[in-house]
A and B are shown apart, each in its own frame.
Chain A
């Protein structure tokens, strides 16, 4: 979960300070540590995939369950300023969620690109802007 939220330092700390000592205890009582390690690697891979899928499902369901649809955000606020940064305890604004390890396909990215291109640009909007 921490890795999915890009909180890698905390994930490493949990792995190092909490998980590793527990595994050492289990290994000490295990006849075949190699088999244990293989099972552990398989379990970690399964759990990683399960969390990734859960995060993706949450992203897909959140707009349907009560947040604004992403398309509405793009249409209404295509060139609006980003919301001011919030304290860590607050949820991230729906219009610009913090990045997660989402299984978004390239085709989905292209849909977003086409949706942006279909949105009429404001006069003197950023679509025509180039830095000097």
Chain B
């Protein structure tokens, strides 16, 4: 049976030289720009979220979550198998046709690792936002906390000729902006997350923590941990191979199992999962396996959490502890808020309260990015130079 693999390039050393960005493989027609569209863009390792709308007003014309994956159609595929006989497909389309394409993930640990595929992906995003290719596109792009100069330069080079202007802003700060309820800012009892909060954004490639206390966070206010959803998948996969050798379960299937059953805290048994191995249905018990993999995330995040709490001004800490917010895909891990809160309380922190961002967790970075795009002054936008 043919199995599809996802090509991932390891995250580049930030001190290394920048790879040359090839010319775009998807031609773009250049026409006169008749309007300006603003884009809030969460370029995630596994999933990207795009919100777009006109420069004035509050309308959102485009709202999409797209798997961050490019599929290059293999030679010899029969006509009609791929819609429109396209040579390059993206997102869900690429995953659906994974047997017929070479799947490439252009982003790893939150930064671009395959510039050519990243450029193709950005072109696809642009076509979603502006199918007629007549608009000036200004994009606010989320970056992992403390992303280095190389990561930013790679984005700029890949976006040249695709977006007209960009702003790159750390994702946890964007999450705070997005999570903030603008209608309640003036209410005296409202705990404005932008004024005093600690955001924990657990994505696919990185877990980013950020103090947001009424000023733009400095590098000391942010910690990025290269351990997140993908790392849990790796641990789970390795554990499954150990307990159930030759199980044949794909990474995609293991991720599905994680997303359906992930939890932290004491082991919950039995946790029975039905899987197909070798064409036959099996029920396997995964309580301990999932707990070990997911609790590793807590062990990595917690020290960073207490480090940032220690860096906050002492007068602010009591309120800060009431406003610890978990967002991103990792916020869907059952019990993550309770476990973190309990650890803080057990360690003597005063009345901590860890909250989940809620059902819009996939969109808060993009929402914040679009808010930033609408608020940015003309001289704050970066013009991309080739």
Contact = CB atoms under 8 A, between A and B. Distances in A.
Interface of A: 3, 6, 8, 11, 44-45, 48-49, 52, 78-79, 82, 85-86, 88, 92-93, 96-102, 104-107, 109-114, 116, 121, 125-131
B18 interface: no
A99 B223 CA distance: 20
A101 B99 CA distance: 54
The dominant DSSP class at the A interface is: loop
B212 to A, nearest CB: 9
Contact of B314 (A86, A97, A113, A131): A86
A45 B224 CA distance: 40
Contacts of B189: 3, 8
A126 B195 contact: no
B313 A98 contact: yes
A110 B313 contact: no
Nearest to B220: A126
A99 B213 contact: yes
B219 A110 contact: no
Interface in B347-378: 371-372, 375-377
Given A85-B314, A130-B224, A79 B219 contact: yes
A113 B169 contact: yes
Given A8-B189, A92-B315, A131-B304, A112 B213 contact: no
Interface in B198-237: 213-216, 218-220, 223-226
A127 B146 contact: yes
A3 B196 CA distance: 13
A126 B196 CA distance: 22
Given A86-B314, A98-B315, A107 B216 contact: no
B148 interface: yes
B192 A131 contact: no
A32 B214 CA distance: 42
9 contacts: A48-B188, A79-B219, A85-B313, A92-B313, A100-B214, A102-B214, A106-B177, A107-B377, A127-B146
A74 to B, nearest CB: 8
B372 A110 contact: yes
Contacts of B127: none
A105 B215 CA distance: 10
Contact of B316 (A6, A79, A101): A6
Nearest to A49: B186
B195 A107 contact: no
Contacts of A127: 146, 148-149, 219
B146 to A, nearest CB: 6
B146 A130 contact: yes
Given A11-B188, A131-B225, 4 more contacts: A6-B319, A49-B186, A79-B220, A110-B216
B14 interface: yes
Contacts of A3: 188-189
A8 B371 CA distance: 28
A109 B210 CA distance: 15
Q: Which 9 residue pairs across A and B have the least CB separation, nearest first?
A: A85-B314, A106-B375, A112-B216, A126-B219, A98-B315, A99-B196, A99-B214, A99-B213, A3-B188
